[in-house]
Amino acid sequence: MQWRGEWWFSGVHFLTPYDPRIVEDEKSSIHSRAAVAFLDHQKEDAQTILKNQFEAFLEFNRGSQVAFTAPDKAESFIGSFISYYNDSLGNEKTGGTKGNEKPEFKAWGNNTKPDFGDLDSVLLFMNPKNNLEVAVDVSSAFPLPENPYFDESKSDEHVRRVLVDEHISTELAYFCIEHFKTELGFFTQGDGKLLLGDMDFMLRFWKKDFYHTVPSVSFMGDED
């Protein structure tokens, strides 16, 4: 932990033999990078980077903050966006150190690839406060023209999941509310309509420790 500007040992550690493959996998894993992203915030302006990533995603995704893909296409979509973003910055800012070589992107790195099972779709949301967010079983909460997975019969269930699931960001919940509160039956009748006036209170209750989104930026590439 860090206290008064210094790092203090707190916890348990163990040694393992050096394995360059593990090192490379961890360095190229967006999830492993995110786990220690708070360290990068001490040397980088996270807010500026998040803003740049947000704008790049809008350009990449035809102006939309959300994208919908088949489960087996999600990894490819994320990889394509990361490549697009890196290319928009130029090699110098991506951290490449060998000519024009850019760091390899692996969506899941050394981590186990998520099991999407028999899901119909994956939703990708560019959260302006926390980078790219992946959500499953919620596509029918977003009746957008570009959403081929919208199913009105599943809409109420998916809206509830967006609101109640603590692992789905407050930002995605508000995106759903602000854009579709007059279109979705959940918000125009029944309990959903009654809750609209107290939605902020309810989100604080449902999402508890996750109500406030912590900025998370993963810097890909070699460090000096």
Domain ranges of the chain: 17-136, 137-212
More confident residue, 196 or 110: 196
The confidence score (pLDDT) of residue 222 equals: 45
pLDDT at position 89: 81
12-39: pLDDT as tens digits: 666 778 888 877 777 666 556 555 555 5
Q: Would the pTM of this model clear 0.85, i.e. be above it?
A: no
Predicted local confidence at residue 101, as pLDDT: 47
Q: Does the structure show a pLDDT above 80 at 155?
A: yes
Per-residue model confidence as pLDDT tens digits over 163-208: 999 989 999 999 999 999 999 999 999 888 999 989 999 999 999 8
Q: Angle 170-180/199-207 helices, nearest 10 degrees?
A: 150
Q: In the 3-class helix/strand/coil scheme, how is 39-67 assigned residue by residue?
A: HHCCCCCHHHHHHHHHHHHHHHCCCCCEE
Q: Would you call 177 exposed, middle or buried from its count of C-beta atoms within 10 A (0-12, 13-18, 19+)?
A: buried
